[in-house]
């Protein structure tokens, strides 16, 4: 039996750091963001649908999608954002499930689905356990401002555009408190993996 863990967090919560810890432990991580980029590469069906929906002005000279240009359209227009999500999300889900099945067939003991919108997109049914990487609001704000060189207001706007981490924490099976050092977080992860019988 493979244990499938749904990993999520918020912006600047340290989710990528924890995802890397899984990789370092030889546990495969299926990253929804990476797949979302793959499915809109030229030659993929969702790419054709996006170009049909948004026009060729969103393309770079080489035919690839100009992400900032597409982003500027969907961030200001709820309807367009929904339209993009309806093209991209099903394709991402399908590819994630295929990869998950492949890993299960290969006999992997544990598989991680790294999905930023795990709760918002109601994808918890894809995982056996849900794990949220948690930081308090002050830490999140400080890290985001430092990481992305943002003003406090810009950082707050980004944080507030997501489901609050406190809400996600309530919905999760387990938490990793990432307010402290990377070593602390790793200890918590190893503890959970032992508890879930993934490692000895």
Q: Position of tokens 């307010």?
A: 179
Beta bridge partners of 6: 113, 130
Q: Are 145 and 12 in contact (CB under 8 A)?
A: no
Reading the block at residue 90, the tokens are: 């099903």
Largest CA distance in the chain: 54
Task: Please enumerate, by residue number, every residue annotated as part of a binding site.
Answer: 12-17
Task: Please enumerate, by residue number, every residue annotated as part of a binding site for ATP.
Answer: 12-17
Length of the chain: 200
Torsion of CA 122, 124, 126, 132, to 10 degrees: 130
In Å, how far are 100, 134, 189 from 4, measured between CA atoms?
8, 20, 15
The CB density around residue 43, as the number of other CB atoms within 10 Å, is: 7
Positive or negative: CA dihedral 119, 133, 175, 156: negative
Rounded Cα gap, residues 170 and 193, in angstroms: 20
């Amino acid at each position: 039996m493979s244990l499938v863990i749904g990993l999520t967090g918020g912006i600047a919560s340290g989710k990528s750091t924890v995802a890397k810890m899984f990789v370092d432990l030889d546990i495969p991580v299926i990253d929804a963001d990476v797949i979302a980029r793959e499915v809109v590469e030229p030659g993929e069906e969702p790419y054709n649908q996006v170009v049909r929906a948004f026009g060729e002005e969103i393309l770079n000279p080489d035919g690839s999608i100009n992400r900032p240009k597409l982003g500027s359209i969907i961030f200001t227009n709820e309807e367009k954002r929904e339209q993009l999500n309806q093209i991209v999300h099903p394709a991402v889900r399908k590819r994630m499930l295929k990869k998950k099945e492949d890993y299960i067939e290969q006999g992997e003991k544990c598989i991680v689905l790294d999905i930023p919108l795990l709760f918002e997109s109601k994808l918890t049914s894809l995982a056996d356990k849900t794990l949220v990487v948690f930081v308090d609001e002050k830490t999140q704000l400080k890290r985001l401002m430092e990481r992305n060189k943002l003003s406090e207001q810009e950082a707050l706007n980004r944080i507030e555009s997501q489901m609050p981490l406190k809400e996600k924490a309530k919905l999760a099976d387990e938490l990793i408190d990432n307010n402290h050092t990377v070593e602390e977080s790793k200890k918590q992860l190893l503890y959970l993996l032992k508890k879930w019988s993934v490692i000895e």
